[in-house]
Amino acid sequence: MAFLQDKFLLLCLVTFSGFLLPVSSRGLVYRPPTVERLTDRFPRIPITQGMSTLFGPLNVCLKNNGSYADIALDKSTGSGLISKNIYYHGFFSAAIKLPAGVTSGIVFAFYMSNTNVFPNNHDEIDFELLGSAERSQWVLQTNMYGNGSVNTGREEKVSLWFDPTQQFHEYTILWNHHHIVFLVDNIPVREVIHNQAISSVYPSKPMSLYTTIWDGSAWATNGGKYPVNYKYAPFVGSLGELEIVGCLMQDANSTKASAGCLKNTTVSSLDPVDGEEYARLSKQQMAGLDWVRKKHTTYSYCKDTTRYKVMPPECNA
């Protein structure tokens, strides 16, 4: 145990790399469609300003004066961070670099949730990066729950067009009344439109932002076929370039926004992603989403007729 912790502390001393051209695990340079850089519109803040340790404090290592953090999984525990505030709607983004090597059974998650406040009626918006039995072959899974609708999984899986272990890439959640958009390097990989069919299960309550790394051996790799191999521990992921801009909540148990979110009570919203430019995807963003869906999406619950004899209503909308 002490050896693993010492090994992680040594890794904390290693400097991190910045953004490079996206390169696949085969060494081929991919050139995804050009899109607007939404992440350039919002300020970046240090990890220490926006988040605090959730669990596994010995496996959390702050770097660059708190602007970056390493979070690790070893045989003793995983680790995680939680936002210091709770938000209703907003823009939530981080640059993430994933552990390299054999990573089967590992889950690195960047997500929003309120299960600690609404345990039987909670909402979630999830990026789940799933390790693989093959080196560097991480799978991106997105999911969403609203109002405790956990019995219907709404997963989609994407095969990334780059090696996520070699450099940092941006993972972003845009959440407002109109839609939820999952973006990777500013390219939409999924859009959940808020319409009548999905309204009852659309996330509607304030949430915290989380980043965690943990052992998902029971399900994460081929349905649990390949568990975590702790011979390769510790497994260290890194994050930084944090952007958290949303309607700040004063009362975690309330579904109403604080005075900082609404002007003159309910007359004029100050939601940072409530403007017309955030109500729908642009032509560039639609082209990017189409590129991902045609070339990189490997699973959608709306096409899983084995799992669902009767499709969820939004699949037919």
* Cα(257)–Cα(269) distance, integer angstroms: 10
pLDDT digits (tens, 9 = 90+) for 10-27: 556 544 433 333 444 444
DSSP summary character for residue 29: B
Total domains, the chain: 1
CA distance 225 to 139: 15
Cβ-defined contacts of 149-152 (< 8 Å, 24+): 149/200, 149/201, 152/201, 152/312
Hey, how many other C-beta atoms are within 10 angstroms of the C-beta on 162? 21
pLDDT digits (tens, 9 = 90+) for 201-216: 999 999 999 999 999 9
C-alpha span between 280 and 176 (Å, rounded):
10
Q: Report the alpha-carbon distance of residue 93 to residue 113 in Å, rounded.
A: 15
Question: Six-digit token pair at 231?
Answer: 């011979």
19 and 39 in contact (C-beta within 8 Å)?
no
pTM of the model: 0.89
Q: pLDDT tens for residues 123-176? A: 999 999 999 877 658 999 999 999 999 989 999 999 999 999 999 999 999 999
Alpha-helical segments (H) within the chain: 2-12, 47-50, 283-295
Could you report the per-residue pLDDT of 130-140, keeping only the tens digit for each? 998 776 589 99
Beta bridge partners of 141: 128, 157
Percent of the chain with pLDDT strictly greater than 70: 84
Domain presence at residue 110? yes
Q: Quick one: tokens of 92?
A: 């939530």
Give domain status of residue 114, yes or no: yes
| CATH number (domain holding residue 54) | 2.60.120.200
Instruction: Name residue 273's beta-bridge partners.
Output: none
Residue whose pair of structure tokens reads 């189409």 in the numeric block: 290
Report the candidate in 137, 305, 118, 313 with the shortest Cα–Cα distance to residue 221.
137
Q: Specify which of 10-14, 85-89, 184-188 reaches the highest per-range mean pLDDT.
A: 184-188
Domain that holds residue 244: 2-17+32-316
> What are the backbone angles phi and psi of residue 177, rounded to the nearest 5°?
-70, -25
Dihedral pair phi/psi, residue 7, rounded to 5°? -65, -40
Residue 163 counted as domain residue: yes
Examine the pLDDT at 246 and tell me if it is beyond 80. Answer: yes
Q: Which are the catalytic amino acids?
A: 124, 128
Q: Is 83 contained in some domain? A: yes
Query: Does 6 reside within a domain?
Result: yes
Main-chain dihedrals φ then ψ at residue 214, nearest 5 degrees: -155, 170
The counts of H helices and E strands in the chain are: 3, 17
Classify residue 26: in a domain, yes or no. Answer: no
CA angle, 125 then 131 then 137, to 5°: 110
Cα 303 to Cα 140, 146, 207, 299: the distances in Å are 18, 21, 29, 8
Report CA dihedral (161, 155, 110, 88) to the nearest 10 degrees: 130
130 belongs to a structural domain: yes
For residue 300, being part of any structural domain is answered with: yes
